[in-house]
Amino acid sequence: MLMTRRQMLGTSCLFASALDLDSCSRVSSPSRDQSSSVRDIDVVMTVGVSGLTVYEVAHAQGFFDQFNVTPNVLQVSDGGKCIAALLSGSAKICMWSGFDQLTSAIEKGAKLKILAGALNLPSLALYSANPRVKSAQDLEGKSIGIGAVGSVLHVMTVVLLRKKGVNVGNVTFRNVGSNADVFKAVVAKTVDAGLSDVDVFDQQSKFGVHALPDGLLWKEIPEYTNQATYASDTAIHENRDILVRTLAACAKAYRFVSSPESQDVFVKARQKVTSVNDTQQALTEWRWIQGSQPYAVDLVLSDERINLIQSINVEFKNQSQILPIASVGDMSLAKDALKLLEKS
């Protein structure tokens, strides 16, 4: 993407350096009139193809322009760095990122709130290249690739295995990195199974893997929210109007990518984001979106979904107790954004 806001890029990465936000990059908006500062909003997100694709779709369709918003996106490597960027003020809102670490940070005193849902369903499947692994129960005594212990990949794997009656104490977890790294490890047979994206779901034979029928997370644990949108209390108080307009643009993007007419735009956006001709994977992801309808088209994230993440945090001892919803979420901005969307 074009880097037209060089001064903002330099400033933001200086903030990132001070916060140890390694491997960050700014994705700037196309050049346009910047006479009104209320258009500008600094956004932080974890590096990921799905989020960047939605961002590119929103730009291509003019949704941000429609709500007078110019997002400047800072990409970081994990959710902890998203939280750091919000608390430092180098970003006003976090979008398209997991929020597992958020409620535990709030319990420790971080002044943050969940504003809306984003990708409400897990977009991961449990893959294996071991012919003896045909279901989740076959994984007892086997190795599973994850990220770090306590990471989203680890937590979702444990949640799935427990639901399937697997004794996780009899499973060997190996930290191999991101879900893309996990897939490479599965293909190389250095682990017996692991979670990875749906974009390779239609190419299982090509890679010599198979998805476990009871390992499709969007079907097995649909109550688990993959990504959400959140901001600091300070930004909510001082920048409410542009936060609402940003949420309205996101909702419009979610509704568009969830509709049949989005196919060509989605494929082109994903190819631009990845810089490779991955038409098959782009179509696979698009078809999954059409069939599963995973995006928060109505923005509001339910108390039950928030509390599920809290309960998992308590179980993993990342949080001592489930906090009141009012202390971790504020859906009033999402509701205002929906009203704004109705008027557009």
pLDDT tens digits for range 98-128:
898 999 999 999 999 999 999 999 999 999 9
Select from 242, 265, 244 the least CA-distant residue to 253: 265
Q: What percent of the chain has pLDDT over 70?
A: 89
User: SS3 helix, strand, coil % of the chain, rounded to 5?
Assistant: 50, 20, 30
Q: Give the residue-averaged pLDDT of 274-281.
A: 85
Cα–Cα distance, 71 to 116 (Å, whole number):
17
Cα distances (angstroms) measured from residue 340 to each of 26, 116, 253, 295, 334: 28, 15, 14, 19, 10
Report residue 230: phi and psi, to 5°: -150, 165
Give every CB contact of residue 192 below 8 A, 6+ residues apart in sequence: 128, 130, 133, 139, 142, 143, 144, 186
Q: What was the pLDDT predicted at 220?
A: 98
Among the ranges given (78-92, 244-258, 270-284), the one the predictor scored with the smallest mean pLDDT: 270-284
In this structure, the number of other CB atoms found within 10 A of the CB of residue 246 comes to: 28
Q: What does the pLDDT average to over 207-216?
A: 98
Contacts 24+ apart (CB under 8 A), 10-13: 12/42, 12/72, 12/74, 12/90, 12/91, 13/74
pLDDT of residue 6 exceeding 80, the answer is: no
4 has a pLDDT exceeding 50: no
The pTM assigned to this predicted structure is 0.86
Give the separation between CA 340 and CA 47, rounded to whole angstroms: 29
Decide if pLDDT at 32 tops 80: no
pLDDT averaged over every residue in the chain: 89
Instruction: Look at residue 48 in the predicted model and tell me its pLDDT.
Output: 85
Q: Provide the pLDDT confidence category of residue 151 given band limits of 50, 70 and 90.
A: confident
Poorest-confidence range of 209-223, 262-276, 284-298?
262-276
Q: Which residue has the higher pLDDT, 36 or 332?
A: 332
Mean pLDDT of 292-300: 98
**Which pLDDT tens digit goes with each residue over 227-250?**
999 999 999 999 999 999 999 999
What is the mean pLDDT of the segment spanning 47-74? 95
- Same CATH fold assignment for domains 6-121+225-343 and 124-220: yes
Q: Pseudo-torsion of CA 144, 150, 151, 152, nearest 10°?
A: 80
pLDDT of 31 strictly over 60: no
Between CA 98 and CA 95 the distance in angstroms is 9
* Residue from 141, 144, 125 nearest 210 by CA: 125
Percent of the chain with pLDDT over 90: 79
**Domain 124-220: which CATH number of 3.100.10.20, 3.10.20.600, 3.40.190.10, 3.40.1360.10:** 3.40.190.10
Locate the domains of the chain by residue range. 6-121+225-343, 124-220
The candidate with the shortest Cα–Cα distance to 177, out of 103, 101, 78, is 78
Kindly indicate the confidence band of residue 278, based on its pLDDT and cuts at 50, 70 and 90: confident
What are the tens digits of pLDDT across the range 161-201? 999 999 999 999 999 988 889 999 999 999 999 999 999 99
Q: What is d(CA 223, CA 213) in angstroms, rounded to the nearest whole number?
A: 18
List the structure tokens of 325. Answer: 């919803």
Question: What residues have CB less than 8 Å from 200, skipping those under 6 apart?
Answer: 127, 183, 207, 209, 281, 284
Residue 47 reports pLDDT greater than 90: no
6-121+225-343: CATH class:
alpha beta
